[in-house]
Amino acid sequence: MFKLNLSRSRKNEGTLVDQIVSSIEQELRQGTFPAGTALPSVRVFAKSHDLSTYTVSEAYQRLVSLGLVIARAGAGYRVATPAAKPPAAPAWSAPTLNKAWLLSDVFADKTVPIKAGCGWIPNDWINESGIQHALRVVSRVPGPRIGGYGHPYGLTSLREHIANSLRRYSLSVGSDDVLLTQGVTQALDLIVRTLLRPGDTVLVEDPCYCNLLEILKVAFVNVVSVPRTPEGIDSAQLEEVVKAHKPKIMFINTVLQNPSGTSLSASSAFRLLQIADREGIWIVEDDISRELAPAGAPCLAAMEGLQRVIYVAGFSKTITPAMRVGYIAASRELLSRFALTKMAVGLTSSEVTERAVANVLIEGHYDRHTAHIRERLFNAHAKVTQSMLSAGLEVFHTPNAGLFLWARLPIRAEDSIAVTNEALSKGIWLAPGSYFRPGEHTSEWFRFNAATSDAPELWKFLKSLQDGAVYRR
């Protein structure tokens, strides 16, 4: 039925699933087969092309998520009705680059064509079929079951699932040790509001998550930083900073850090916990990218047992940022305090959203989806890293996993904002290092999203910085 020319070598052609999806997608988008045409059964397709049924099933599921194929119980897979073409978009014009755009408008701005600096997976990478199924299931929940505010700690079934999942990382918790939040950012805000007071000293990484810096700024705390290294944290510098400033709390990304993409080594993690225990410092472990990391990466909360570690994670990097569900795992005494703060500043989190996320995790082939994302990111890292080197960029670390790469452009630090503005005028969103540094110090380092940076126009622009003399270190 379909014309396939499959290569068993993944070196240049991608996986067999990728090749099947690409070939069938091309034919369906060309209208070769009318809507309603039945596709061969998984078993027949596999046998005729000498493939495993798992490979064919995965390819069909991806075609469903792309909206090209529909799956119906007892009727197999059929060609979907083509979606109506959207109206032509107006001519693109660059937004004004300022702090308001970067902190808020950027998340709603759909017009920038190349989002090299964004912090989420591309739209066509999301588990569309799993999310749509989850929303249909939620739509059938009787009104009385979702008519109230919900539990202050969040949906019980989702908390139970999260607790079970954390045990895979040797983190022994129950549902009563988990508090659901509206994303990881709210989780960080609740911790800051509960444990810190104006004037307290806080330790962060340099660079670190940009929204954390804004949360700390409005809390009027004293922010001190320690440099992030390819191995995690320099223990000697950490010792000096702790002795000099006596911080009350430290915020850290353990694996695949935002923005550097680095992960703590086992020795660095162990030394950090030793210092925290000796000095009585709270550690907030922001572990949002754990499910994108290779197996075996250290987990501070598992190593320490939630005595001085507060564990924070969520699903924006694997499901979609639109479903604002994160969580905190901590000692029950601390968790009760966080719950009171949560109720005080925003009441309960959205049970409707939590039900949808729970369904995606339980019934939406979530593990298979995350494995697919990890594979795509691995391939994306290889391409983008090579493009960086060809364009004269210096790569800080090559994680081959997660969303982020941290690279230095061949420019002067003081020209970083001018370069960012120039890129934006060409439809390219860059994320300069100053947005991730305490005090917004200028930097020639930039954050790149491996999943959104494979664009010829991006690398043509960056190559011009190397060839030109305007921005030269």
* pLDDT tens readout for residues 239-294: 999 999 999 999 999 999 999 999 999 999 999 999 999 999 999 999 999 999 98
Tokens 């959205």 label which residue? Answer: 350
Instruction: Work out the average pLDDT over 297-302.
Output: 94
Q: Which long-range contacts (CB under 8 A, 24 or more apart) does 349-353 make?
A: 349/150, 349/154, 349/180, 349/181, 349/182, 349/325, 350/150, 350/182, 350/324, 350/325, 351/146, 351/149, 351/150, 351/151, 351/154, 351/155, 352/138, 352/146, 353/323, 353/324, 353/325
- The confidence score (pLDDT) of residue 145 equals 72
Buried b (16+ CB within 10 A) or exposed e, 182-207: bbbbbbbbbbbbbbbeeebbbbbbbb
**8 Å CB contact between 226 and 241:** yes
Peptide bond into 321 cis (omega under 30): no
Q: For residue 458, what are its two tokens? A: 């991006």
pLDDT classification of 468: cutoffs 50, 70, 90: low
What pLDDT is recorded for position 49? 86
Q: Does 18 have pLDDT greater than 70?
A: yes
Strands 326-329 and 309-314: antiparallel
Residue 365 has pLDDT above 60, yes or no: yes
CATH code for residues 10-79: 1.10.10.10
Q: What is the CATH number of domain 133-363?
A: 3.40.640.10
Q: For residues 92 and 77, what is the distance between their CA atoms, to the nearest angstrom?
A: 38
CB 6 within 8 A of CB 16: yes
Read off φ and ψ for residue 190, nearest 5 degrees: -65, -40
Kindly report, residue by residue over 377-422, the tens digit of the pLDDT: 999 999 999 999 999 999 999 999 999 999 999 999 999 999 999 9
Convert the pLDDT of each residue in 20-31 to its tens digit: 888 888 888 888
Q: Is the pLDDT of residue 35 over 90?
A: no
pLDDT at 264: 94
Comparing 225 with 19, the larger pLDDT belongs to 225
pLDDT of residue 97: 56
Residue 342 in this model has a pLDDT that exceeds 70: yes
Mean pLDDT score, 324-339: 96
Q: Candidates 3.90.1150.10, 3.40.50.2300, 2.60.120.10, 3.90.226.10; correct CATH number of 99-118+368-467?
A: 3.90.1150.10
> 425: which 2 tokens?
């005028």
Q: How far, rounded to the nearest angstrom, does the alpha carbon of residue 269 sit from its chain's CA centroid? A: 22
User: How distant is the alpha carbon of residue 227 from its chain centre?
Assistant: 22
Q: Does residue 238 register a pLDDT over 80?
A: yes
Provide the pLDDT for residue 164.
Answer: 94
The stretch 306-332 carries a mean pLDDT of 94
Model confidence over 129-172: pLDDT tens digits?
889 888 888 888 887 777 778 889 999 999 999 999 999 999 99
On average, the pLDDT of the chain sits at 88
pLDDT at 22: 85
Q: Look up residue 379 and give its two tokens.
A: 């391939």
- 168 — phi, psi (to 5°)? -65, -25
Can you list the alpha helix ranges (DSSP code H) found in 391-454?
Answer: 416-425
What's the CA gap between 433 and 114, in Å, rounded? 18
- Domain segments of the chain as ranges: 10-79, 99-118+368-467, 133-363
pLDDT of res. 87: 53
Average pLDDT over residues 300-309: 95
What is the rounded distance in angstroms from the CA atom of residue 92 to the CA atom of residue 366? Answer: 36
Q: How many CA atoms lie less than 13 Å away from 299 in the CB half-sphere?
A: 25
Lowest mean pLDDT among 97-101, 350-354, 437-441: 97-101
- Give the integer Cα–Cα distance in Å for 358 and 404: 27
Q: How many residues does the chain have?
A: 473
Take residue 211 and report the two structure tokens written for it: 């929204």
Tens of pLDDT, residue by residue over 77-99, are: 888 877 655 455 455 555 555 55
Does 360 have pLDDT greater than 60?
A: yes
Tokens of 40: 């061969």
Average pLDDT (98-122) is 70
Distance CA 247, CA 279 (A): 9
What is the per-residue pLDDT for 64? 84
Show the beta-strand stretches assigned E in 7-122: 69-72, 76-79
Among 35-39, 51-55, 197-201, the range of highest mean pLDDT: 197-201
pLDDT at 90: 52
426-439 pLDDT, tens digit per residue, is 899 999 999 999 88
